[in-house]
Structure 1
Amino acid sequence: MTIVPVHTGLPDAVDRAVRWSPFLAMLATREPRVADAARAGRLLLDTDDLPHDLPVAVRLRRRRRALALGIALGDLAGILDLTAVTGALTRFADDALDTAIRAALTERYPDEEPRGFAAIALGKQGSGELNYSSDIDSILLFDPETLPRRAREEPEEAAVRIARRVVELLQARDGEGYVLRVDLRLRPSPEVTPIALPVNGAIAYYESQALAWERAAFIRARAAAGDLDLGRRFLAAVRPFVWRRTLDFGAVGEIRGLSARIRDHHAQGQAFGPGYDLKRGRGGIREVEFFAQIHQLIHGGRDAALRAPATRDALEELAIAGWIDVDDATALSSAYTLLRTIEHRVQMIDDRQTHRLPLAGEPLDRVAKLHGLADGAALLDLLRPHVERVGRTYDALDDRQRPALSRDPETLAPALAAAGFDPATTTQRIAAWRAGTYPALRSPPARAALEAVLPTLVEALGGAPDPDQALHRFDTMLERMPSAINIFRLLEARPGLADLLVRLLSHAPPLADELARRPALLDGLIDATALDGVGDVAALAETMRGGDVADYGARLDHVRRIVGEARFALGAQIVAGTADPLVVGAGYARVAEAAVTVLAEATVAEFARTHGRVADSELVILALGRLGGGVLTHASDLDLVYLFTGDFAAESDGAKPLGATLYYNRLASRVTAALSVATAAGPLYAVDTRLRPSGTHGPLAVTLDSFARYQREDAWTWEHMALTRARVVFGSAAARAATDAIVADVLGGNRPPRDIVAEARTMRADVARHKPPAGPIDAKLLPGGLVDLEFTVHALQLAHHTALVPDLGTAIDRLIDRRLLPPTMRAAYDLLTRLLVTMRLVAPDAAPPADATRTLVATALGLPDWSAVVASLDTARQEVAAAWSALEA
C-alpha cells in the first residue's frame, strides 16, 4: 500500500467527488478505508495488502476499485499531476494483465512455468498514459515452440483458450465490478484472425502487409505482460517496419487522411462547445498525438531520440531536435495536459469510457464543479484557447495545395515560357511523364503523386540558372528511377527541398547520377544535421556498425548505404554553399576511413569463420595518397597497402587452415572486394593496391618485416615519396605503433642514398607524358598544379628528413617554418585543393563550367567571381612552378 503524506486539499476533494460523481460516491462507500483516510488528509494508493487466498479475479477487482478512488482523489486534490495519474493507471494495468496471463496459464498447466505467451501494449497503455476509465489496446502473441499445452492440443488452440481466459478475468463484470476493458481489435486483420497470434506470423504480417496507421500505432508499442522476452523479440523484429530510414510521405498522408476521416465521422463533436469531443474533436487530444506521431514517423527512423512513446515527451524531443517550434511544443503539451485532465473528469462521473463533454445544463456543470470550477461556462472558457491553438497548429501541417499544372497545351506552353523553359520541348516532356512512358510513372499512384508535385517542381526548375538543362537532368534521373512515388511525396511535403534538388541537378552531374540510382539519398537532406559535418571516424564507424544487419552481405549493404548518404550530403554541402571544400574533403576521408575500419572488421570475422585466426598475428591496413593525407574528393579511389604481423610460416587454426602468407593474401583480397564490389546497395570505392612492395608483381599482403626490409633496401624514390603520406587506418594500437616506427625509420634516412631531386624531376616528366591535364581548370595535373606541389613537398621531406607528417597542409606549414618553402605555398595548396574538390563535383572533365556554376565555384573558393578564380589559379600555379623550379636548381 502506498500512503502519501497529509495534504490539506484532500477533504475538499472527497466532498467534490461524493457530491458531483455518482461513481466516486459509490467507491467511497465500498472503499471506506481510502475515503476515510482522505478525509483525514492522507492519500492511499493501490491497496495491495489483500488476502492472498482470494480468487485472482476478486483480488484484481478490489485493487482496481481502491486504486480508482485513490487516484481520483489525489488528482482532484492536486497531489497527483497528469503524469502521476496516467503512470499509476498504466502500472496497475500492466500488473493486472500480467497477473491474468499467469493465472490463465497456471490454471490450465499447473505444473508448467508460465511462458510463451505475451501481451504487447499499444495506445495509451503502451506509452504509459492510460486514461482514468480506459480500455487497454493489446496484441496477444504466443510462441508455438515454448507455450505449454496438453497432449494432442495444438498450440493455436491452447493460445486462444488462454487468451479468452485472460480477457474474462479482466473485463467480466460481477458483484465486485470489473478490472479492465480489453480491446484486441488492433491486431492484424481482426475480423479473420484469432485473438492470439503466433509470433512469427505476426512478424511476417508487419514486415510485408501492414498499413500506415499500424506504423503510427507501433510508435507506442511495448512488451507489457507475460513472457517479456518474447514480446521484446517481436518488437525488435518489427522495428524496421515502424522506424524507416527511407521516409514515406505517403504514410504521413495516410495518417492525415485518418485524421480527416475521424473529423468527418465524429462531426457532431468537432465544433467546440457543449458536447465537444475532447479526444476526436478539432483541436482535441487525438490531433496533438497525431501532430507528434507524424513528425516521429518522418524523422524517427534516423534519430532514435525522437521515438519517445509518450506524447509530451515526443513533443519535447522534437523541439530539442529542431523539427517543431518550441512555442508550438509548449502550447501543445499544455493543451494535452488540460484536455486529458478534463477527459478524466468526464470519465469519473459514471466510470464510462467517454471523451465527450456533456450537453449544456446540469451535466456540464457537474463536470466543471468536479474540477473545482463554478459552472460549465467557466469550463468552456478554460478549454477554448487551448483547443483553438491545437486546431490551428495541426491544420498547418496540411499545406494548402497549389493549383494543378494545366493539362491544356495551349494554356501550359505560355506558363512554361514565362517560367524560363523552352515551351515546346518542356510541354512534350511533361506530356510524356503524364503518359507514364517511364517505368517509375506507369502506375496510377505514381502519376497522381507526380501531378501533386508538378507545380512545386516546375517552379523550382524554372528558378535554375538554365531551366532547360535542369529539366533535362531531372528527366534523365526520372528515366532511370525504378520508383518515383516517394520522392514526389517528399518534394510535395518539403518544397524547399525541391530548390536544393534543382541546384544539385544544375551544378553537380555526379550527384544527379547518384540520385537517379538511389532516389532515397534525397531523404537524408531533410535531416536537421544533413548540411553539418559528418562527425569523427569513431562516430561514423559506430553508425556503420549499427543497423538491422543479419549477415555479412547485409553489413556490406548497410555500410554502402551509410557511405552513400554521407558522401552525397557532403557534396550537397558544397553545392548549397554551406561548407568549405577543405572541410568537405576531410569529411570524405573520415567517411572512407570509417568504412575501411568497419568492413575490415566484418571481413576478418567472416573469414575467421572458415579459416580461423593466425595466433599472435593480425591484419594491418596502411593508407597512402589522399586517404593517407586525410583529404579526398568525391571521386577519389583508396590507395591501400595490406600488411600483417607475426610469423609468415605460422598457420591458422580454423576448420580449413591456411599458412599465414596465403591466409592474409586471401583476406586482403576479400577486404578489397568488400570495399569495391558493387552490391544491391550500390558501389563503394575503387581500391588501388599498386603502391604495395614490388607493385603489381608482389603479393597483395606481406609481413611487417618484409615491408620494412623492402622499404629500407629495395624501394624506389617514388615509393618513399608515397610513404610520406602513409597512415595506418586498421590495426591494433601495437600494430599501428610498429608500422609507424618502420615508416619513421625509413623516412628518417634508413634507405639507400639517392639523388632525390633528380629522380623526382624524371618522375614528374613521366607523369606529364602519361597523364596530361584533363582540361584548362585541372587543378591537379596542370603545370604548377597540385601534383607539382606534392612532388616539391615530398622531395623536400625526403631530402631534409623533416616535416614528416601525412597531412600535406601541415607538412607545408612546417617546411615554411624551416624556410624550405615560400610562405605563399600554404595559400596555394588551399586554393588548389578547394578547386579540385569542387571541380570533381561540378565539372569532372576540368573544363570551365557553365556561367551559373562558375558562381558556385567562386563562392566555394571564397572569391567574388569567376575571373577571380582564374586569376587566383594562375597566381597559385606560378608560385608552385617557381618553388618546383627552385627545387630543381
Structure 2
Amino acid sequence: MAETNAEQAVNEATVRARLWSPFLTMVLDREPELARSLSEGRLDLTASSAMPDMPVARRLRIERRALALNVAIGDLSGVLDLTAVTGALTGFADYALDTAIRAAIEERTPGAEPLGFTGIALGKQGSGELNYSSDIDPILLFDPATLPRRPREEPEEAAVRIGKRVVELLQARDGDGYVLRVDLRLRPSPEITPIVLPVDAAIGYYESQALPWERAAFIKARAAAGDLALGARFLDAIRPFVWRRALDFGAIREIRGISARIRDHHAQGQAFGPGYDLKRGRGGIREAEFFAQIHQLIHGGRDPAVRAPDTRDALARLAEAGWINTDNSRALIDGYTLLRTIEHRVQMIDDRQTHALPTGEALDRVARLHGLDDGGALLALLAPRVAATGRIYDALDDTVRPAFSRDAVTLETDLAAAGFDVPEPARQRIEAWRSGTYPALRSPAAREALEAVLPTLVSAFATAPVPQAALLRLDALLERLPSAINIFRLLEARPGLAILLAAILSHAPTLADDLGRRPNLLDGLIDATAFEPVGDIAALEALMRGGEAGGDYQAQLDYVRRIVGELRFALGAQIVAGASDPLAVAAGYARVAEAAIGVLADATIEEFAKSHGRIAGSELIILALGRMGGAMLTHASDLDLIYLFTGDFTAESDGAKPLGATLYYNRLAQRVTAALSVATAAGPLYQIDTRLRPSGGQGPLVVTLDSFARYQREDAWTWEHMALTRARPVFGSADARGAVAGIVRAVLEGDRPSRDIVADARTMRAEMAAHKPPKGPLDAKLLPGGLVDLEFAVHVVQLINRTGLDANLGTAVDLLTARNLAPSTLRAAHDVLTRLLVTLRLVAPDAAPPGHATEDLIARAIGVADWSAVVATFEATRQEVAQFWAHVTGEQDG
C-alpha cells in the first residue's frame, strides 16, 4: 500500500511539474525515458540518458539535468525529505567537481594520478545542504611537490591552468544546460591571489591574517574532491584557527555585522509578503544559519560535539548540550526546513538561483507547484515560521546598552546610583582608561569596546564587597594587558562573568595575578561545566592529549599548559563563587596534575626515544609523595616526585644514540621534569621537587626499583619513611605501579630498620619550626597545631603501629580512628585545616587576616557562620591537633 501511495505521489508531482514549472517541463521533454518512468510512479535518482563515452562536460551536463528532474519530483512528491534532497544535490556536486579535476589533469598529463590538487567545499556544499539551483564555493589548493605537470612547467602555472579548465568544464553552457556555477571568491584575498593556491600559503594565511567571518565559513568546510588526503591535511592544519578555546567575540560581532548589512542591503526583501527574500530576509534561512554559527563559535572550541556543519544538526546538538533553548532549537529547525523547501520550489520554476518569493501570479505558481491553492495559502504557511526565526535571532542582539556620560558630575552621579558609595575615585579610574594611557587602551577599537562594556562593568563591580578595591585591581590588570578588546567584548556579551570577575578581583589575588598573565583564562568560565567537578584521570588525559598538538612535542607542552591553567583557574573560581567544597577542589587539583604527568611523561618518552630508542623489558615509574601523593593539592602546591625504573641497570637502549640504562633514565627524568616545570610560551606549569628521592639531593635523580627497595629497607631515615606514608605511583604500567606499591607497603609494615620514631619526629618538627616559621597568624600549615603537626602525628602512629596506611591523609585518619589510634574529632580537624589552607592559598597567600569583605568567603568555605566562628574554629582545631601531637610524642604541653 505504501509503495502504491508513493507511486501515486510521484505521478501527481510530475503532473504539477508540467503545469507550473517551465524548467521541469523542458527537462521532461528532453528526457522522455525519465518522463515515462516518473509518470508511472517510478523514481530513480541514478537514471540518466548520459552515455559513458560522451565527452566529460556533456556527460556531466546531462547527468545534472536528469538529477535535477529526479530530485525535483522526489521533493515535490514527498518521497524525498529535505535531507535526502540536499544530500543528493551535494553528492552530485562533489562527484562533478572531482570528475572535472580528474579530467583537467588527464587532459594535460595523460595517465597521471590526480594528486596534489584538491577542492575544499565551503558553504552549503561543505555542509551537505546544497540547494536546488546553487553555485558552489570551493577553495582550490595544490601541492607543488605532487601536482602533475608538463616538462619545464612551474607548479603554480600548471595549477592555475588546471583550475581554469575545471571551472570551464563545470560552468560552460550549451544546449544541454550547464553543470554547476562556480564561485571562487571565498579563497584568501581573492582580488590579488590566483584561483588556485599553494596549500602551505593557504595554511599560513589562515594561521596569521584571516578575517573573523572566514572562521564561520570554515565551520562548513570539507575536503570534497581531488586529492582528499591533501584536503584533509589542510583542514587539520587550520582547525585551531576555526575552533579556538579562547573566545573571539570580535568574530561573533562580525557575523552580527554581516547580518545587519544583509538586512540593510536587501531592504526590499525584509518585509514579509510577496517579494520576501527567503534567504536574506528577517527571519529567513540566513538568520537560522547565523544563529547556529554564533553559538558554535562560542562553544565549539571547548565542546567538539557542536561542530556539526549541517545547520539543523548543529542546532540540535547545541540544544542537546544545553547551549541553546530546546524550544528555540526546534522552532529554528522547523522554520529552516520549511523555508529551504519553498526556496527549492522558487528555484524549480526556471532553474534560477533566486531566493525571493515572486509577486502576483508568479507567487500563485510557486504555491501550486508546492500543492497549495494560491499565494495567500503559501504566505499563511510561511508566516509563523518566519516570525519565530526572526524573534529568536533578534533576541541575540543585546548590544544596545546605555552609555556612560563623559561629564564628570553626571558620571559621578551615575556611579553613585549604581552603588559606589564614594564615586570620585571610580570616576577618576574611568577617565584614566578613557584617556588611552595604557597600551591595552590606546587603539580606537579598544576604547570603543571599553565604552560598550562600561555599563556592565560598573553594574557588576558595584556588587563587589568593596567596589573601589575591585576596580583598582581591574585597573592593575588593564595596565598589564597588551590588549583589552577581547576581554571587554566577552564581558559585554556575558554580564554574569563580569560579576564573577569582580568577585575574583575582590577576593583572590592569586587568581587575579593568573588572569593578568593570561586574560583568556576568563573564557573558560563561560562554560557552565567550569563549576562542576573536573573529570576523572582518564577523561582529563583524553582532554590534554587532544587539541592542536598534532604530534608536535613543543605544541603538546604548550597545549597541556593551557588546559591545566584553565582547569586550575576554574577550580579556584569555584571556591570564590562558593560553588564547591575546597576539599573537592583540592582533589580536583590533584587529578589535573596526575593527568598532566601522564600525558607529558608519555610525550617526553616518545620524543626521547626518537634519538635514544628504548630499553627492552624496562620502563619509567613516577612515584608521588606529599600532597600530590595524598591526592589533595592547593592552587600553589609543588609536586614531590621520585623517578624509578624497572629492569636491568646494565642494559642499553636500542636507538641511533644508545645509552646505558642508568644514564638513559636520568636524562629522560630530567626531560620529564622540564616538561612538567619549564615555562613555555603558554606559561609555567608546576614546581617539581625531587629531594625526597633516595639519598636526597646528593643521590642520582633516578634509581632502579631494586635500589629503591634496598635503600628504603636498609638506609632510609625516619623522615623518609614518614614521607613514604603518602607515596602513590602516578605513572607506569599497572604491573610496575603494583610492584612499587608492594615495596612501599612492605617497608611501612615493618621491613625497615628499627628506629626511635617518636624521638626522630620530635627533632624534625623542632628543626622545621626553627627554620620554617609560620607565614602569618592564619598559617593553617605551619602554626602549632596546624597541618604539619597533624601529618607528623599521623605518620608516627602509622609507622609505630604499622596500620592505617593510606596515602590520602583524611582516609588514613579515618583508618586510625576506626582502630582507636586517633581521636574521633581528628577527621573534622583535618577537614577544617585543609579547607582553610586551600582557600587561603587563593585569598590570603601570606596567611595574614584578609579584608572584611573576604572574611565571609572564608567562613563559607570552611562551613561556619561568620569570621568570629572562623577564628574560634581555627583555634579549637589547633588545640585538638596539638593535644594529639603531645599524646603521640609524650609531650605534656601543646
- Structure 1: how far apart are the matches of 2:699 and 2:186? 64
Contact 1:623–1:641 (CA<8 Å) still a contact in 2?
yes
Alignment of 1:134-533 (within 5 A): 134-359=134-359, 361-418=360-417, 419-420=419-420, 422-533=422-533
Q: In the TM superposition, what is the alpha-carbon distance from 1:26 to its structure 2 partner?
A: 1.3
Alignment of 1:526-605 (within 5 A): 526-549=526-549, 551-605=552-606
Q: In the TM superposition, what is the alpha-carbon distance from 1:721 to its structure 2 partner?
A: 0.7
% of aligned pairs identical? 73
Which residue is equivalent to 1:719? 720
Q: In the TM superposition, what is the alpha-carbon distance from 1:755 to its structure 2 partner?
A: 2.2
Give the secondary structure class of the aligned counterpart of 2:529.
coil
Which residue is equivalent to 2:666? 665
- Structure 1: how far apart are the matches of 2:808 and 2:49? 71
Contact 1:245–1:302 (CA<8 Å) still a contact in 2?
yes
Greater CA drift, 54-63 or 290-299: 54-63
Alignment of 1:670-681 (within 5 A): 670-681=671-682
- Structure 2: how far apart are the matches of 1:582 and 1:862? 12
Which string of whole-angstrom CA distances, capped at 9 and with x for unpartnered residues, describes residues 539-598 of structure 1?
212222222225322222111111111100000011111111111000000111111122
Which residue is equivalent to 1:646? 647
- Structure 2: how far apart are the matches of 1:489 and 1:336? 29
Give the secondary structure class of the aligned counterpart of 1:45.
coil
Contact 2:690–2:701 (CA<8 Å) still a contact in 1?
yes
Q: In the TM superposition, what is the alpha-carbon distance from 1:886 to its structure 2 partner?
A: 2.1
Q: In the TM superposition, what is the alpha-carbon distance from 1:602 to its structure 2 partner?
A: 2.1
Contact 2:6–2:79 (CA<8 Å) still a contact in 1?
no
- Structure 2: how far apart are the matches of 1:468 and 1:629? 40
Q: In the TM superposition, what is the alpha-carbon distance from 1:400 to its structure 2 partner?
A: 4.2
- Structure 2: how far apart are the matches of 1:4 and 1:492? 59
Greater CA drift, 584-593 or 550-559: 550-559
Which string of whole-angstrom CA distances, capped at 9 and with x for unpartnered residues, describes residues 413-466 of structure 1?
232344315333222222221111111112221111111111111111111100
Which string of whole-angstrom CA distances, capped at 9 and with x for unpartnered residues, describes residues 242-261 of structure 1?
11111110111111001101
2:760 maps to amino acid? E
Contact 2:292–2:315 (CA<8 Å) still a contact in 1?
yes
Which residue is equivalent to 2:21? 21
Q: In the TM superposition, what is the alpha-carbon distance from 1:94 to its structure 2 partner?
A: 0.8
Q: In the TM superposition, what is the alpha-carbon distance from 1:337 to its structure 2 partner?
A: 0.2
- Structure 1: how far apart are the matches of 2:20 and 2:628? 76
- Structure 2: how far apart are the matches of 1:542 and 1:384? 47
Contact 2:49–2:63 (CA<8 Å) still a contact in 1?
no
Which residue is equivalent to 2:708? 707
Return closer, same or farther for 1:37/1:700 CA change in 2, 3 Å cut-off: same
Greater CA drift, 337-346 or 135-144: 135-144
- Structure 1: how far apart are the matches of 2:324 and 2:24? 40
- Normalising to structure 1: TM-score of the pair? 0.97
Contact 2:840–2:847 (CA<8 Å) still a contact in 1?
yes
Which string of whole-angstrom CA distances, capped at 9 and with x for unpartnered residues, describes residues 647-701 of structure 1?
3333333333333223322222222222222122111111111111111222222
Which residue is equivalent to 1:77? 77
Greater CA drift, 682-691 or 595-604: 595-604
Which residue is equivalent to 1:837? 838
- Normalising to structure 2: TM-score of the pair? 0.97
Structure 2: gaps spanning 5 or more residues: none
1:465 maps to amino acid? P
- Structure 1: how far apart are the matches of 2:686 and 2:653? 29
Contact 2:291–2:393 (CA<8 Å) still a contact in 1?
yes
- Structure 1: how far apart are the matches of 2:11 and 2:671? 76
Contact 2:48–2:66 (CA<8 Å) still a contact in 1?
no
Give the secondary structure class of the aligned counterpart of 2:610.
helix
Q: In the TM superposition, what is the alpha-carbon distance from 1:4 to its structure 2 partner?
A: 11
Q: In the TM superposition, what is the alpha-carbon distance from 1:163 to its structure 2 partner?
A: 1.5
Contact 2:34–2:48 (CA<8 Å) still a contact in 1?
no
Aligned length, in residue pairs: 886
Alignment of 1:839-878 (within 5 A): 839-878=840-879
Give the secondary structure class of the aligned counterpart of 1:43.
coil
1:201 maps to amino acid? A
Alignment of 1:786-801 (within 5 A): 786-801=787-802
Which residue is equivalent to 1:695? 696
Q: In the TM superposition, what is the alpha-carbon distance from 1:5 to its structure 2 partner?
A: 9.2
Which string of whole-angstrom CA distances, capped at 9 and with x for unpartnered residues, describes residues 199-240 of structure 1?
122112222221111111111011111111111111111111
- Structure 2: how far apart are the matches of 1:750 and 1:82? 74
2:586 maps to amino acid? G
Which residue is equivalent to 2:822? 821
- Structure 2: how far apart are the matches of 1:120 and 1:677? 40
- Structure 1: how far apart are the matches of 2:822 and 2:715? 30
- Structure 1: how far apart are the matches of 2:706 and 2:436? 63
Give the secondary structure class of the aligned counterpart of 1:642.
strand
Give the secondary structure class of the aligned counterpart of 2:141.
strand
- Structure 1: how far apart are the matches of 2:195 and 2:677? 50
Q: In the TM superposition, what is the alpha-carbon distance from 1:864 to its structure 2 partner?
A: 2.2
- Structure 2: how far apart are the matches of 1:82 and 1:615? 58
Q: In the TM superposition, what is the alpha-carbon distance from 1:49 to its structure 2 partner?
A: 7.3
- Structure 2: how far apart are the matches of 1:706 and 1:92? 68
The runs of at least 4 consecutive aligned structure 1 residues that moved more than 4 Å come to: 3-6
Give the secondary structure class of the aligned counterpart of 1:621.
strand
Structure 1: gaps spanning 5 or more residues: none
Greater CA drift, 67-76 or 31-40: 31-40
Greater CA drift, 742-751 or 596-605: 596-605
Greater CA drift, 510-519 or 66-75: 66-75
Contact 2:138–2:183 (CA<8 Å) still a contact in 1?
yes
- Structure 1: how far apart are the matches of 2:865 and 2:175? 86
Give the secondary structure class of the aligned counterpart of 1:728.
strand
Q: In the TM superposition, what is the alpha-carbon distance from 1:644 to its structure 2 partner?
A: 1.7
Greater CA drift, 781-790 or 416-425: 416-425
- Structure 2: how far apart are the matches of 1:47 and 1:170? 20
Contact 1:117–1:140 (CA<8 Å) still a contact in 2?
yes
Alignment of 1:704-783 (within 5 A): 704-783=705-784
Give the secondary structure class of the aligned counterpart of 1:119.
strand
Contact 1:4–1:44 (CA<8 Å) still a contact in 2?
no
Give the secondary structure class of the aligned counterpart of 1:9.
helix
Which string of whole-angstrom CA distances, capped at 9 and with x for unpartnered residues, describes residues 452-505 of structure 1?
111111111111100111011111111111211110111111111100101100
